Amino acid sequence: MTAPARRQDYCTQHHQPRSKCEPWDRHGHTMRFREDDWMAAEHAAKTARTDVTALVTQMMEAMLGYARCWRCHPGAPPVPVGFGDLAGRPLREAVADAAEQVISQHPDHHPVTIGRAGVPPVVFAEPGRRAR
Ligand SMILES: [Zn+2]
Ligand SMILES: [Zn+2]
């Protein structure tokens, strides 16, 4: 008889060890937000006719340098995104447009620019570190 898996190693959603879950399986993860920030996020999501999970996921993927196409196989590689000229419009809208562009490219994906292309790219760097 094998020892029972430790609770955090067992996926209660898929009823198996977490190591057996696919990378694209969706699991609940805890994030803590200030109450006012959460309310602002809910308001922004409602305005964009989406939900907070979709909004946060899209923004997080953009910051990680990619977007995922929901029409592709879930194991397909993500589509690279870069930042162009972001002046003059809300970042949220520019990111949402890029995500739409990725989906409309399907199945032939190529890198997408968030914002206006053809200008020196915006590079994000951690505080205290220089952009490369
Ligand atoms: Zn799972
Ligand atoms: Zn696709």
Residues above pLDDT 70, as percent of the chain: 89
Average pLDDT, whole number, for the chain? 89
Domain range holding 119? 51-124
HEC sequence for the chain:
CCCCCCHHHEECCCCEEHHHCCCCCCCCCCCCCCHHHHHHHHHHHHHCCCCHHHHHHHHHHHHHCEECCCCCCCCCCCEEEEECECCCCCHHHHHHHHHHHHHHHCCCCCCEEECECCCCCCCCCCCCCCCC
CA of 122 to the centre of ligand 1 (A): 36
**How many structural domains does the chain have?**
1
- pTM listed for this prediction: 0.78
pLDDT band at residue 125, thresholds of 50, 70 and 90?
confident
Residues lining ligand 1 (ion), CB within 5 A?
Answer: 11, 13-14, 21, 25
44 part of a folded domain? no
- Does residue 34 fall inside a structural domain? no
Tell me if 116 is assigned to some domain.
Answer: yes
- Please give the pLDDT value at position 7: 62
Let me know if residue 59 belongs to a domain. Answer: yes
Ligand in nearest proximity to the CA of 103: 2
> Would you say residue 59 has pLDDT above 90?
yes
